[in-house]
Amino acid sequence: MSRCLSLEAQRLAPYTPGEQPQDQQYIKLNTNESPYPPSPKAVEAVRSAEAEKLYLYSDPLCAGLNCALAKRYGLKPENVISGNGSDEILAFAFRAFCGTAIPVAFADITYGFYEAQAALFGLDALRVPLREDFSLRVEDYMEFPGTIVLANPNAPTGMTIAPLEICRLLEKNSNRVIIVDEAYVDFGGESCAPLIPKYDNLLVVQTMSKSRSLAGGRIGYALGNAELIADLNRVKYSFNPYNVNRLSLAAGTAAVEDEDYFQGCCAAVRETRVWTVNALENLGFTVLPSSANFVFAKPDRLSGGELYRRLKENGILVRWFDKDRIRDYLRITIGSRAQMEALVEKLTELLKK
């Protein structure tokens, strides 16, 4: 770091993204990207006349995209905000609903971006341990007075919480915001979006990076009470009004409207996940129950770190976290059937050695 870095910046805890190596071709099962291309309608939308309008600013209201999302979820446009990936939406939410006298709580094993945002904004954060079996119990959050962030399904475990359990948190204290991060909900979880008309302290955050195959498009969004969305827009317009570019707006709108393609891709991932879990368990892995487009698995003959390194040496990337409680596990993205068969073949070879 330079001698000019502020004390506040020195205290940051930057999020570490999954590897994106350029040195060779890998089977990439480390960043939970979709193995399928975007909807053909999304690709066509980007190729349309919108590309010729790049000299003009994008719509700061994201009106077309927000209307498409509102229609899809049975809401109104004022219940929707779009952003440059769900990470930006989460940052807006941390800034809007946490601060002086409003602490934040999240699980000790969950998406690392929450930790990074808590450090960035200098927040008082409570890290609530998951249970021994990696499940999350809402009882552990009941008396917490501030904002609560729940990844559902959780990352990196892939495990879920029933919306009825989240309702208990919402009703226990209506003056605190419950943020439900549903980045992976389309692969088997149950969304809290239908609860929005009932609870004005619920914010549901989703992304198009996974189930809609637009990780490179950087499109995220939040659904919630109109007043909560207005709060997020207050932060947005204090930071980056033109936060979603023209091409992403076009691609995102088309992707939302292509429901058949979306459902087909999700079904294919779920089917491949079932096959992968069976194959890993036959190799002696312990696999947590997953409702996401990844599995969290522990080998029985090698440490997680050692197996991660051996797979990388053989051209396969998975995610390994060198952290207490989970360093023996690997998070493995569900790729195409061919990719998962190649993974299992290589694992069989490595474990025999």
Tens digits of per-residue pLDDT, 139-149?
999 999 999 99
> What per-residue string of b and e applies to 151-182 under the rule 16 or more CB within 10 Å gives b?
bbbbbbbbbbbebeebbebbeebeebbbbbbb
94's tokens: 């941390």
Q: With a cut of 90, say whether residue 217 has pLDDT above it.
A: yes
* Residue range 35-69, pLDDT digits in tens: 999 999 999 999 877 888 999 999 999 999 999 99
Q: With a cut of 90, say whether residue 306 has pLDDT above it.
A: yes
Average pLDDT over residues 288-306: 96
pLDDT score recorded for residue 22: 67
**Cα–Cα distance for residue pair 100/142, rounded to 1 Å:** 21
- Confidence at 221, pLDDT banded by 50, 70, 90: very high
Q: Are residues 286 and 320 in the same domain?
A: yes
Q: What percent of the chain has pLDDT over 70?
A: 99
Cβ–Cβ < 8 Å for 186, 153: no
Helices (H), the chain: 7-10, 40-47, 63-73, 85-97, 113-120, 163-172, 226-236, 246-257, 259-282, 304-313, 337-352
pLDDT score recorded for residue 16: 78
pLDDT score recorded for residue 13: 79
- The residue ranking higher by pLDDT, 47 or 29, is 29
Q: With a cut of 90, say whether residue 269 has pLDDT above it.
A: yes
- Confidence at 164, pLDDT banded by 50, 70, 90: very high
Q: Are residues 182 and 306 in the same domain?
A: no
**Cα–Cα distance for residue pair 154/284, rounded to 1 Å:** 24
pLDDT score recorded for residue 252: 98
Helix (H, G, I), strand (E, B) or coil at 349: helix
pLDDT score recorded for residue 24: 60
Q: Are residues 264 and 252 in the same domain?
A: no
Cβ–Cβ < 8 Å for 262, 211: yes
The answer as to whether 6 is a domain residue is no
Chain centre distance of CA 254: 21
Angle, vertex CA 333, rays to CA 187 and CA 306, nearest 5? 150
Q: Are residues 267 and 225 in the same domain?
A: no
Last residue of a domain, one of 228, 257, 286: 257
Q: With a cut of 80, say whether residue 12 has pLDDT above it.
A: yes
Beta strands in 130-219 (DSSP E): 147-151, 178-181, 202-207
pLDDT score recorded for residue 14: 84
Cβ–Cβ < 8 Å for 205, 180: yes
- Residue that the structure tokens 């991060």 belong to: 181
Number of domains the chain is built from: 2
Q: CB-based contacts of 116: which residues, under 8 Å, 6+ apart?
A: 12, 13, 14, 15
Q: CB-based contacts of 268: which residues, under 8 Å, 6+ apart?
A: 36
Cα R_g (the chain), whole angstroms:
20
Query: Which domain does 268 fall in, by range?
Result: 18-37+260-352
The answer as to whether 1 is a domain residue is no
